[in-house]
Amino acid sequence: MSTERTNETSDVAEKVIRIAGSITVDELAQALGLSVTTLIGELFKNGIVATINQRLDFETAEIMIQELGLKGVRLERKNTAAKLSEEGRRELSKDAVPRPPVVAVMGHVDHGKTTLLDNLLKKKTVETEAGGITQHISAYQLEHEGRKITFLDTPGHEAFAAIRQHGAMLTDIVVIVVAADDGVKPQTIEAIKFAQGANAKIIVAINKIDREGADVERTKAGLAEHGLMPEEWGGEIMMIPVSAKTGEGVEKLVEAILLIADVEELKADVEVPAEGLVIESHMETGKGSVVNLLVTGGELKVGEFVAAGGVYGKIRTMTDFRGKPKGKAGPSTPVTVTGFKELPNFGDRFLEYPDEKSARRAAVLAAQAQANEAASANVTSTDLLRMMNVEDNSKVFNVIIKGDVLGSVTSVVDSLKLIDTKGEVTLNVVATGVGDVTENDIYMAAGENTVVYGFNVNVPTNIAKLAARDGVEVRNFRVIYELLDDAKASMEKLLGEEVVETVVGEMKVMGVFRVTKTELIAGGEMTSGKLVPGVNVRVLRKKEILGEAVVESVQKERIEAKELIEKEIGGLAMKTEKKIQLEVGDKLEFFTREMRQRKLGE
Ligand code: GDP
């Protein structure tokens, strides 16, 4: 095993392996820099007899990497749409025209990212995020001396991870904001890694220079330590001191961005069918699907037919990032459109088609390709877990998660993973996706005993019918805690029931009146608790259990009684299944017995 070698590099660089659906043993071994025999050997150790061409699903590959102890390696899901766009990226023609640069602003929290964007755009960015709905990426444009710049903003960590996955196609330039009074921080480093991984050009905005304690030189030194060498020190990175608050240096930053755009000769073709990326999508009452797109090539116009991933539609309305109607949008333009029949996924590539028929066809083909890919793995993580016998009594709870936006899907999945099952139940996320529950989800869930969870999505009537027909459970929620409670309850159900015995009272036997095969009549004093007819009783001599019986009736002062309590003396008749030789001095322990649903973590 080449653990050491990989560990050596783990602090310096992280190796990312991108998997679309599944990967062959051969490909994974190559990607890991291991011999195929080593990998097959490791699979074998875990109970899987694999051949070189066997396909492993994403989770299995992930588990193998853990098993191999490979630290610096990370797997990323490559979705089909992203793959298509990478492979199908259009070569530029000689007619290509300059296009605005697409810029992401990133940095450590509180270093002034939002303030800088506000200043650049001369407005409060938050206001444009319709009701704060944006979960992935918001896009804005500014114009400087007749030239446009497109800015992308990501509100949270999940979006950051997602943008990273699609980063290569999304951003030309990353502006890294570093506060001059705070220097390089973890998220600064994350941003640097992201930009490098996405092959984007980097500009650093050294912010808060108006502040006391701001130290531009020291900040530069910190950045140099992380591989960003300032131009004035002989490196390649433009570092612009700015104050997002006073506006000082902000224009220089804009000019630096445009300079890079010139040097990089960012271009796109216009006389081609429109294409681009889905950067946000959600449902809105009265409007249906509302989708934010970033056009990357061609010109998108109202009335045109488009397909993105497995969905298609006709552009019904189109507005710019400020909500103003727009008839057409060229390269690097962010727009909001309605007209998609279903919600496309964040990160999907969209393409324009000449008519509805070909758009629909493209969508159907893409959906099939995705389904095939998911189905093409012959070793799934469920199999693996089963074979590895991770925990002896481990049970698997299969789920498919559908959410309104990627952020919600991520939080549902993350929260589900946090349910502490003490290893007794394994949560297997079969698939996740943004948008309504679809036919494909039902097909995937059928047969495998999988529950489809919807979060803030719709379950169209025909899909509900299909689910009922195929015996698939679709559970839809608007409140995340209710969804989590339901999942927890389902996992507990997998644990089955357990017998719970509760001792309710004890008696010391003072007299034995009748002993037959089926009946015992005795008397004694209650030493604790309570005795009522119907409870179970155990006969104990010292620690030894002589037998069990059921109390049929209770007597107090020779009269039938409802109960006997502590310190009372009375008699009782018990029904037995076999003869119990009861003696004076024995102890009777009264108890109830019930079946109870087992709880997780107990
Ligand atoms: P974000 O978390 O990176 O988006 O940071 P914010 O833009 O929210 O800024 C964090 C805090 O720093 C806020 O209180 C801002 O007013 C303040 N701030 C941002 N830029 C500057 C600056 O250039 N100078 C000063 N003095 N304060 C700033």
Query: Does 234 score more than 80 pLDDT?
Result: yes
pLDDT-derived band of residue 12, with 50, 70 and 90 as boundaries?
Answer: very low
Average pLDDT across the chain, whole number: 83
Cβ of 245 less than 6 Å from ligand 1? yes
CA distance 54 to 380: 11
CA distance 283 to 238: 41
**pTM over 0.85, yes/no:** no
Please state, as a whole number, how many other Cβ atoms lie within 10 Å of the Cβ of residue 593: 11
Q: What pLDDT shows up at residue 139?
A: 87
Q: Which helix H or strand E contains 152, and what residues bound it?
A: strand 147-153
Which of 105, 106, 108, 110, when mutated, tests ligand 1's pocket best, judged by the most ligand atoms within 8 Å of its CB? 110
Residue pLDDT, tens place only, 138-160: 888 998 989 999 998 876 544 44
Are 310 and 352 in contact, with CB atoms under 8 Å apart?
no
Pairing verdict, β 267-268 and 97-98: antiparallel
Query: Does 274 score more than 70 pLDDT?
Result: yes
The mean pLDDT of 284-295, rounded to a whole number, is: 88
Q: What pLDDT shows up at residue 247?
A: 94
Lowest-confidence pick of 20-29, 45-54, 79-88, 408-417? 79-88
Picking from 7, 4, 159, 14, the residue whose alpha carbon sits closest to that of residue 75 is 14
Cβ of 210 less than 6 Å from ligand 1? yes
Q: What pLDDT shows up at residue 8?
A: 39
Q: Which atom of ligand 1 is nearest to the CA of 107?
A: 3
Q: 55 is written with which tokens? A: 């396909």
Residue position matching structure tokens 């150790």: 45
Query: Does 125 score more than 70 pLDDT?
Result: no
Cβ of 211 less than 6 Å from ligand 1? yes
Those residues with Cβ within 8 angstroms of residue 485's Cβ, 6 or more apart along the chain or in another chain: none
Cβ of 126 less than 6 Å from ligand 1? no
Percent over 90 (pLDDT), the chain:
41
Q: Whose CA is nearest to atom 25 of ligand 1?
A: 208
Residue pLDDT, tens place only, 540-570: 998 899 999 999 999 998 899 999 999 999 9
Query: Does 174 score more than 70 pLDDT?
Result: yes
Whole-number Å distance, alpha carbon 110 to ligand 1 midpoint, is 6
Q: 297 is written with which tokens? A: 């090539």
pLDDT-derived band of residue 599, with 50, 70 and 90 as boundaries?
Answer: confident
Q: Whose CA is nearest to atom 6 of ligand 1?
A: 112
Query: Does 303 score more than 90 pLDDT?
Result: yes
Cβ of 262 less than 6 Å from ligand 1? no
> Cα dist. 445→128, 157, 358, 438, 442 in Å?
39, 30, 29, 11, 5
Q: What pLDDT shows up at residue 329?
A: 96
State whether residue 6 is helix, strand or coil.
helix
CA distance 531 to 505: 6
Lowest-confidence pick of 99-103, 110-114, 323-327, 367-371? 367-371
Those residues with Cβ within 8 angstroms of residue 462's Cβ, 6 or more apart along the chain or in another chain: none
Query: Does 198 score more than 50 pLDDT?
Result: yes
Q: Which helix H or strand E contains 373, and what residues bound it?
A: helix 356-375
